[in-house]
């Protein structure tokens, strides 16, 4: 237990915070089987705790994590373009090249490709369906994959430190630097005194760069899968474009990335078509809480609400 690291900057009820936590676990697990994560109540929120083989103080941990991130996502992952929903003739050769890389021993590209989009069903414009985590697709010059590249290129160790170990102050520029996974990104004109698109503060504040960068690493844990009627994303329940919910578990026992992958896909966690999650089997698997967020669609953009605990029956 001497090697535990409490990431007290992260709130597990925040969709972006949850993604950042499991993204941290995944990237640290890429070449190690000894990293584990659990959640504990601290300062009135569920905060992630990492257990590592080697004890690291805060500065050394951030530098170690930053070094892992520098090599975690090959540039070929973004060969798809600026957004994941592309014509089938573009997606298929991209997916095939990622699959070949997997056969050659590198699963990273195929893991991201599966998380980005799938081949079925094609829409009226001949484009492939994409992940339920996609929040923008080019409107207002906001591009989902392009903004990911921005974070990968620009995030520094200090951005990571602020995300993991400080209360979030949202003091990083938000212009062209948000994936819209934080509930604070839902700053519609109707909810503000002035048009947010012309807000001069966007160039100096409003985002958490480190959280967004770490959240990108979580995407391979949320693969897509075609069903008879639509493309589904792990953790999501969809009843029409405007009735989409995302549910995720909070576990209070240490778990490695492969165990976490299975927890995210548990039927009892994702049972969003009912008012209550059935408690049977959840506590036995170490799940202490289930959070549910509603995905909002406003015009051509999507946002997520803060996660709310799902009451047990």
From the list 211, 106, 124, 228, the residue with the least C-alpha distance to 168 is 211
pTM: 0.93
pLDDT surpasses 90 at 85: yes
Cα–Cα dist 187/101, whole Å: 40
Tens of pLDDT, residues 183-226: 999 875 545 445 555 566 666 799 999 999 999 999 999 999 99
Question: Band of the pLDDT at 283, cuts 50, 70, 90?
Answer: confident
Task: Parse the chain into domains and list their residue ranges.
Answer: 4-72+142-219+234-309
């Amino acid at each position: 237990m001497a090697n535990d690291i409490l990431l007290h900057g992260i709130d597990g009820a925040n969709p972006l915070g949850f993604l950042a936590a499991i993204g941290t676990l995944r990237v640290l697990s890429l070449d190690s089987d000894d990293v584990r994560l659990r959640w504990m109540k601290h300062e009135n929120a569920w905060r992630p705790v990492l257990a590592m083989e080697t004890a690291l103080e805060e500065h050394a941990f951030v530098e170690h994590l930053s070094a892992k991130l520098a090599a975690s996502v090959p540039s070929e992952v973004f060969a798809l373009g600026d957004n994941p929903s592309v014509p089938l003739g573009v997606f298929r050769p991209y997916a095939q090249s990622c699959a070949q890389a997997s056969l050659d021993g590198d699963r990273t590209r195929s893991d991201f490709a599966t998380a980005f989009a799938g081949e079925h069903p094609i829409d009226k414009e001949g484009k492939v369906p994409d992940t339920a985590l996609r929040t923008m697709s080019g409107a207002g010059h906001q591009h989902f994959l392009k903004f990911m590249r921005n974070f990968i290129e620009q995030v520094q160790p200090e951005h990571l430190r602020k995300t993991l170990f400080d209360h979030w102050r949202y003091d990083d520029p938000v212009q062209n630097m948000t994936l819209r996974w934080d509930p604070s990104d839902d700053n519609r004109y109707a909810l503000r005194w002035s048009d947010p698109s012309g807000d001069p503060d966007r160039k100096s504040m409003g985002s958490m760069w480190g959280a967004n960068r770490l959240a990108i690493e979580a995407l391979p844990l949320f693969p897509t899968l075609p069903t008879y009627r639509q493309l589904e994303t792990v953790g999501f329940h969809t009843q029409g474009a405007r009735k989409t919910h995302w549910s995720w578990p909070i576990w209070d026992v240490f778990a490695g990335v492969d165990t976490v992958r299975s927890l995210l896909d548990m039927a009892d966690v994702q049972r969003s078509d009912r008012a209550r999650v059935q408690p049977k089997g959840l506590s036995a698997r170490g799940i202490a809480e289930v959070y549910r967020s509603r995905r909002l669609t406003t015009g051509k953009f999507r946002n997520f609400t803060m996660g709310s605990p799902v009451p047990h029956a």
